[in-house]
Amino acid sequence: MPGGAVEKGETLEKALVREVNEETGLTAMAGGLVAINEKFFEESGNHALLFTFRASVVKGELMAEDEEEISAIEWVDRSIANERFPFYDGGFDSLLAVAIPYKFQPETK
């Protein structure tokens, strides 16, 4: 599942589009927010919030931009995805059943 850090000045939605493209070669369109996870990285001392969105593929061909960073790209069925990402209670089917709107709120003056 594509993922990565949000860059300075980047919204979550723009980060999703950029990360999906960098890691898969696909152009994605973000949908609703389906999960928020929290994780501590003890070795680096970092604390992260992980946002999972529904997304649709708009265009592109499946290929890694940086083959040294990405070891493999593949489509898998939900049962395999559930095994590889066990941190979603109820599996990916539970994520597909819900979504809350995400909207960036620009600064107002």
Q: Return all residues near 11 (Cβ < 8 A) that are at least 6 apart.
A: 104
The amino acid at 39: K
Query: Does residue 98 have a pLDDT over 80?
Result: yes
Query: Does residue 67 have a pLDDT over 80?
Result: no
* Whole-number pLDDT of residue 28: 96
What pLDDT digit, counting tens, does each position of 17-37 carry? 999 999 999 999 999 999 898
* Whole-number pLDDT of residue 64: 76
Report how many helices (DSSP H) and strands (DSSP E) the chain contains, helices first.
3, 2
Percentage above 90 pLDDT, the chain: 46
Query: Does residue 12 have a pLDDT over 80?
Result: yes
Query: Does residue 93 have a pLDDT over 90?
Result: no
Residue 92, CA distances (Å) to 40, 63, 72, 79 in order: 23, 23, 20, 9
- Of 100, 92, 109, the closest CA to residue 31 belongs to 100
At residue 38 the predicted structure's pLDDT band, cuts being 50, 70 and 90, is: very high
* Whole-number pLDDT of residue 41: 92
Helix, strand, coil share (%) of the chain residues, nearest 5: 25, 30, 45
